[in-house]
Structure 1
Amino acid sequence: MRFREIITTPTWETIGPFPSGTRELPFLGSPLAAYSTPSADPDIEFAHRPYNPEETWPSELGNGGRVSWSRFEAKGDWLEISYPDIHWDQLRSDHGWSALQYMVLLRTRLTIPKSGHKPLTPILINMLQLPEFAFVQQDADPHTSGPVKWYQGNSYSFGGPTPGLNSTNSINLAAAKFERSLLLEPGAYIMLARAVYDIRQFGDPGPGNPPTIKMSSVNMVHDTEKHVTQLSQEMGAFPSVFSGWLMGEWASVGIRVPEGALETTIIGVGKTEITCKSKNAEPLKSALAVEIVSDIRIVPGQTRLIAMRIRQKATLSPETRILSISIDFQSGGTTRALEWSFPLHHVTYDNHSNLAAENSHFWITFASPSLITDSRLSHLPAHVSSAMIVPPKRSVRHDAETPPVLLALHGAGVDVKNSEWGERMPGVPGAWAVLPIGKNEWGEDWHGGSMEDAWAARAAVEVQLGKVGIALSNKTV
């Protein structure tokens, strides 16, 4: 498969700011609708409206109750939007922090190239920290075209950089987990967007600082052949190897079928191989058995996490390095395979000192939202989740009571895998720490399913460490 980046004009033209309550945007239309031509689509009219800084619209946030056009220049894939001339401190003193929340309408221009002989061009688009976006053809008539189709962006930056922060690793942002697959006619477009400053997402700017929206737009043409089922290796979960044993019976990997491709059915695992560090070591082909317990259907435009059950029959030597799995699928009447290779993460544990090696946090996997221990399970779990486990940094006296397990819930927007969260666990002698993901970086505010995920992680670590003879306290703090 090949990707070509779509060149977008770096200049974004905006109208705003307009007041916006927390999570109100999906229920609101264009703030310009009341002032548009009655017979015209307000979004298309905004797309074609001449840029005129003298033109104004009512907004309680603007000085004198009016706001106008502004221009902002993107730096690479990132764009920062702020309005330092607005009296933000005065608004806050009158109405509280909610007065800092606002939305703006944005537009820029891009050209979708032709892809081979296809009438429609498949693209991947990743809008980070941006709620909604749309495409309007340059020759669209506001009176006869429309309504405009709006797409949901990656508002909370799932799988991207830390929410609210900038990033210099721009080209890799296209590989973040939740890019959208679209089919568009080749040609010139005006790209519309609705951006929101949410104080719970971007943080409090502090006195004297304007609230600033930081967003990223990465658009790529997806040049592919007819069969384009793809492995999305940045998604999914795989357990660590602790003293020779996998810390979980489940693994998952993402598989994407782009728009315009053929429907795909995942039918099973063809082969499993383990490669070792030493050329003299023999691959332990019989140590693991990996299976997909039922067929999984993926329709065009969809990305799914494929759950696989792992049955371990023997311990894995520290020499083992890479697990390779062949995933069989059917598409268009043809059976093909995707090759997934995953590096094995080994952690050693000293039974005498009851301590693992330094910096030896590791990962467990489990069936979420509840622990499934029935070996006869013949159906897929709702989700394969994972949690970071931090072993004790200091041992406890042999005659002392085993300390409770620390269940540490991360804050909003914290990516457990790519943060210092695990390093900051207090060094309580003999205490093991469980750091659940809670299904995503935001932990769903630790309600409902995310809290079930946390307790499932707490139960799972007890089962997994039992494989190597480690008994945990039945208490949790």
Structure 2
Amino acid sequence: MLLGRAVQHLLSYVSPAANSNAVQFPTVSFLSDWQVLGPFQIGTREATWGADPLERLGGFRALEYNNASTFRSSLAANGTIGWSNLTARVPIPDVFSATAELNVSFPEIDWQGLRDVYGWAAYQWQAWARGQIVVQGDETEFLELYTPQILEFWVDNVHYFGGDFYDFRRVPVTLRLSPGIHRLDVRLLRDVRAMGGVGHPDMQIKLDLVRRVSQGLSVVTQSGGSYVLLSDFIGEGASLASPYASVVLRNDGIHDVEVTGIHINANVGRVELLSPAIRIVAGQTRPVAFRIRTLPPNGQSPARGSIFINFQYRVDGEDEDQTLTASVQPRIVSAGKPHKVTFMHPGGIVSYAILRPPSQKAIESARANQAFPIFLNLHGAGVDVDSDVAKEVMDPLPDLQAWVLIPTGGTNWSGDDWHAWGFADVEAAVEMIEDWIQRFDWKGPGVDVNKWLVAGHSNGGQGTWYALTHRPDKIFAAAPISGYSSIQNYVPYTFSHVADPGRTAIKDAALLSYKHELLLSNTKDIPILQQHGGADDNVPAYHSRLMSQLIQEAGADSDYFEVPGEGHYWDGVYTTEPLTDFYERQIALEAASVKGAPLNLREFSVVAANPGDTGPKHGVEVLQLATPGQIGRIDVVFDPLTLACIIRTTNMRMFRLPPYFRDCSFVQVDNQDISTIFKPSTAPDTLSRASGQWEISSQQALQDPSQPPPRLGRQLGPLDSILRTHGAFSIVQHSPQTAPIALQISRNLHQYFAADTSITTSYSTALNSTGNIISLAINETLPPSSAYPDFPIQIRSGNVFIRGPNNIPTLIPHIEGRGLAAVFLRPLPDERLELVVWGVDEASLSVAARLVPMITGTGVPDFVVMNREVLWKGLEGVSAMGFLGNAWEVSSNSFIAG
């Protein structure tokens, strides 16, 4: 019956009047008949933990359509839902592509009633949809499947996790489908942050299948062109703004390839790969970075005509090199205009930002040897900063005495909402300006890379709050515009599956760095102007009103300006009269300040949720917390009469004091006089607490080889600290069965962060690299930690052994039929990290791999041990989770069942 409908479906594409000799059947198509099961409740960003109630029944893939079946759902009247039918819009396919468009809604659900009580959280739901792909003909088809807004799906019996939740279209899944009918099961997740909270909570899904012609190495294309990242050419001489460039390549062959060389147009200049050899395993996508050394202008501008980039590569098992060509049409921008500049992200990829140098008028009004600050503009979610709208937002203010910088954060969604990966991109973009100045032999004012005026809209407004609370010493003024206060407050986690408070508290603690409301003490003495549209239905004005209240309660202050009748965005939102006056006044005040003058210090506080992402306040910097996963605080009071400096700490293990504290008559920390232990030096002093007393630490003490390695810097923080890599990620396959998961993780890291990964079976090669490592292991194949063999989490005979707080041992056993999986961080030298992704079998490994950082807001701590029950219970299916301390011990606030 189904095959008959498929044939009728294909015949319907043939016009009756068509000449039979000219008829071409589409090779691949979607059927229009779909079956839907849902909706079920789902919490904010909960899907990575599983939380699919159908998994208790073996998963949607195990269920067959039955219009008489009912399933329990908290969203529906009488608490039950059933199957429904859906007719997809299936445009007539051509020989190269096919599309299915689904409009999924559940009008029988009282959405408005739920929202009236629970707010936007009630507009989030999950469901499954089943369709068919028909492959016509006698040959296997090689296809790309694009899945915007989809996180998880099955094709026949193969599971895919990661998808393309934000519609980047960067890395589609490639399929090889034999002739016949293939089942496609798609998990639908309606997410308010990604899809909105206004109107009816429907989902519009558009799935695309594209026929692949090449099955070897190819250049990834986007919007009809090669995915080539190249700086703009500037001015009449058409000088390249930056030498760094990259091309995204994908290996769709069955053998690995190695890129060994690169060539470019002779009139453009010389070119070199940034890595001598780049290995791209079968099925992998990688950005290949290179450097262009342009020739000086010689009458023939290198920017005239296309640039052709030729890659030399060799396929494993073949003796001869092959060539692959990517092309790009260069863009010439007038001098002084906003333009694209590339630079190296710490993660080893080429990123870019939009830079507007100071105007001629600003240059003429500058003092001799003046260094201008940076006006940092953080974009909102989904915004392409290379679009005219984004580049031109500051055009009404052409003569600011500042370097205007608009970073990407890594992607249009700023990687991870301007946090670990996205903010590393910001800081790399800031450092790029000095390279730009040197490259163009700039004669105007220099740049002060440590003085920022930060403004951002929407998600960029949230990013502005992050910058304020995590880099207070760099920011002299800030303007959060229509920004939400925190991820947790934007769309509450109300509808998440019920879980033990011991587990939920750890998940919440893993998100503390996102909870800006708790960190506002760091903003004291920084001028802040908040602006919000009074009629904003995307980010309600409540967020800015709340932050203006909480800032005062934290002992800081801000000015708040609400624009009546305006929504989330309007033309001129960045340059309203209050904002314009604020920018110009704060830049002028900064220019007039005396550099190197002594600090006029009053009492202040430093608050840190994670020292790994928190910079100093007035030079005082948190280095380690006593208990991770809890807020740490340093309160400093200066007595103007006695010149005493009084410090009180909360949850503090190690911190740094700047040299000016030696000018105090005495320094007291937690009622202990430490003046006598200061060293005669101009360097900062590092204080650490041991046996209840504060003492000056030395680097030798911090690196005592007889003790576990100290956890410092980039190693600190929950699981997403793995994103602070310096170099490409190394994904190590410790057993051959891990290969599909290695590709999945590689694909997801590139899809969501534009990151680069090297997939290898050699642990030693990965250890000798510069980047962080992701180790994939099944059962007994995980080697011991190279930096700490006695690490407190071990795999023993397929079970997980944890040496918990007070050295109490716990064995979490593998129970047949339930599986066992774990993810946890381990130390490497030079502040590097290893993320272990382990499963007792292949199915369990796929459960663990879901928690590798991908989309923000999931709240994964330093370690998690779980079984298959997480797939339907969510967090409640976790057996152990928690934090690792300053010596890599399991923290006392961790949760270990049993």
User: What per-residue deviation string (whole Å, max 9, x for no partner) do you get for residues 117-142 of structure 1?
Assistant: xxx54221111111111122xxxxxx
Q: 1:149 aligns with which of 159, 166, 177?
A: 159
1:327 partner amino acid: F
- In the aligned structure 2, how far is the partner of 1:445 from the partner of 1:19? 25
Asked if structure 1 preserves the Cα contact closer than 8 Å seen for 2:218 and 2:251, the reply is: yes
Q: Aligned match of 1:387 in 346, 349, 353?
A: 353
In the superposition, relative to structure 1, how do residues 256 and 113 fare at CA in structure 2: closer, same or farther (>3 Å)? farther
Alpha-carbon distance between aligned partners in 1 of 2:171 and 2:27, rounded to the nearest angstrom: 17
User: Per-residue deviation at 1:7?
Assistant: 0.6
CA distance in 1, matches of 2:388, 2:188: 26
1:252 aligns with 2:246: yes
Compared with structure 1, are the counterparts of its residues 426 and 72 closer, same or farther at alpha carbon in structure 2 (3 Å cutoff)? farther
- In structure 1, C-alpha distance between the alignment counterparts of 2:141 and 2:52, rounded to whole Å: 28
Q: Secondary structure of 2:204's partner?
A: strand
Structure 1 residues 311 and 88 mapped into 2: Cα distance closer, same or farther (>3 Å)? Answer: same
| 1:391 shift after superposition | 4.8
Distance in 1 separating the partners of 2:385 and 2:432: 18
Letter in 2 for 1:155: F
Aligned ranges for residues 119-198 of structure 1 at < 5 Å?
Answer: 121-136=141-156, 149-158=159-168, 176-198=169-191
Q: Could you list the runs of 5+ residues in structure 1 that have no partner in the other structure?
A: 137-145, 159-175, 275-283, 350-355, 370-380
TM-score (norm 1): 0.77
Aligned partner letter, 2:205: M
Compared CA separation, residues 326 and 133, structure 1 to 2 (3 A): same
Structure 2 residue corresponding to 1:365, chosen from 335, 342, 345: 342
Unaligned runs of 5+ in 2: 1-25, 92-98, 454-898
Q: 1:343 aligns with which of 329, 337, 346?
A: 329
1:290 paired with 2:259, answer: no
Q: Distance in 2 between matches of 1:338 and 1:223?
A: 15
Higher strand share: 1
Pick aligned residue for 1:68 from 82, 88, 107? 82
Equivalent position to 2:304, from 306, 313, 320:
320
Change in Cα spacing, 1:447 to 1:74, as seen in structure 2 (3 Å) is: same
Deviation per residue, 1:427-463 (Å, 9 max, x gap): 3314432111111121111111211111111221232
Call closer, same or farther: CA 1:189–1:432 in 2, change over 3 Å: same
Distance 1:418 1:252 in 2: 19
In the other structure, the counterpart of 2:130 is 107
Q: Distance in 2 between matches of 1:300 and 1:396?
A: 53
Question: How far 1:309 moved relative to its partner?
Answer: 1.4
**CA deviation profile, 1:309-339 (whole Å, cap 9, x unmatched):** 1123414755623222211111141311011
Q: What percent of counterpart residues are identical?
A: 27
Q: In the alignment, which residue of structure 1 is the partner of 2:264? A: 272
Aligned to 1:460: 432
Compare 422-431 and 298-307 and name the one that shifted more: 422-431
1:397 Cα deviation from its structure 2 partner? 6.8
Residue 55 (str. 1) matches residue 36 (str. 2): no
1:12, CA displacement in angstroms?
A: 2.4
2:394 to 416, 425, 446: 425
Give the structure 2 partner of residue 214 of structure 1. 204
* SS of residue in 1 equivalent to 2:220: strand
Aligned-partner Cα distance in 1 for 2:289–2:281:
17
CA offsets per residue over residues 39-69 of structure 1, 9 Å max, x none? xx443332x323x1x5332111112222222
Alpha carbons 1:109, 1:188 under 8 Å: kept: yes
SS in structure 2 opposite 1:149?
A: strand
**Greater shift in the superposed pair: 246-255 or 320-329:** 320-329
Distance change >3 Å, CA 223–CA 288, structure 1 → 2: closer
Q: Secondary structure at the match of 1:417?
A: coil
**Contact 1:17/1:103 (<8 A) preserved:** yes
Change (3 A) 1:5 1:177: farther
Q: Secondary structure at the match of 1:453?
A: helix
1:240-268 superposed Cα distances (whole Å, 9 cap, x missing partner): 1123321112110011111x532111011
1:311 alignment counterpart: 293
Corresponding residue for residue 230 of structure 2: 238
User: How many angstroms does 1:297 deviate by?
Assistant: 0.7
**Worse-matched range after superposition: 64-73 or 187-196:** 64-73
- Pick the aligned partner of 1:398 from 364, 369, 374: 364
Tell me if 1:98 matches 2:121. yes
Structure 2 CA distance for partners of 1:25 and 1:421, relative to 1, 3 Å: same
Distance 1:92 1:329, change over 3 A: same
Q: Distance in 2 between matches of 1:72 and 1:421?
A: 39
Give the equivalent residue in structure 1 for 2:5. none
Residue identity opposite 2:339 in structure 1: F
1:348 maps to a residue whose letter is: S
Q: Is the 8 A contact 2:306 2:329 kept in 1?
A: yes
Distance 1:437 1:232 in 2: 20
Q: Is the 8 A contact 2:228 2:327 kept in 1?
A: no
Q: Is the 8 A contact 1:133 1:150 kept in 2?
A: yes
Query: Which segment drifts farther, 428-437 or 444-453?
Result: 428-437
Structure with higher helix content:
2
CA 1:310–1:223: 2 relative to 1, 3 Å: closer
Residue 83 of structure 1 contacts residue 210 of structure 1 at CA under 8 Å; is this kept in 2? no
Q: What is the aligned partner in structure 2 of residue 25 from structure 1? A: 47
**Per-residue deviation, residues 9-52 of structure 1 (Å, max 9, x unmatched):** 12322111100112222332652344x4xxxx443332x323x1
What secondary structure does 2:117 align onto? Answer: helix
Q: Which one-letter code corresponds to 2:355 in the other structure? A: I
Q: CA deviation at 1:156?
A: 1.6
Q: Which amino acid aligns with 2:30?
A: T
The alpha-carbon distance between structure 1 residues 322 and 472, as it changes in their structure 2 partners (threshold 3 A), is farther
Structure 2 residue corresponding to 1:446, chosen from 407, 413, 418: 418
CA distance in 2, matches of 1:323, 1:397: 34
1:364 shift after superposition: 0.6
Matched-pair contact (CA < 8 Å) for 1:236–1:305: no
* AA of the residue aligned to 1:7: S
Q: 1:82 to 1:418 in 2, by over 3 A?
A: farther
Structure 1 residues 314 and 451: CA distance shift in structure 2, 3 A: same
| Relative contact order higher in (CA < 8 Å, ≥ 6 apart) | 1
Normalising by the residue count of structure 2, what TM-score does the alignment of the two structures yield?
Answer: 0.42
The alpha-carbon distance between structure 1 residues 306 and 476, as it changes in their structure 2 partners (threshold 3 A), is same
Cα RMSD after superposing both structures: 2.5
Specify the code of the residue in structure 1 equivalent to 2:430. R
Over 3 Å counting, the alpha-carbon distance change for 1:60 and 1:157 in structure 2 is same
How many equivalent pairs are there? 398
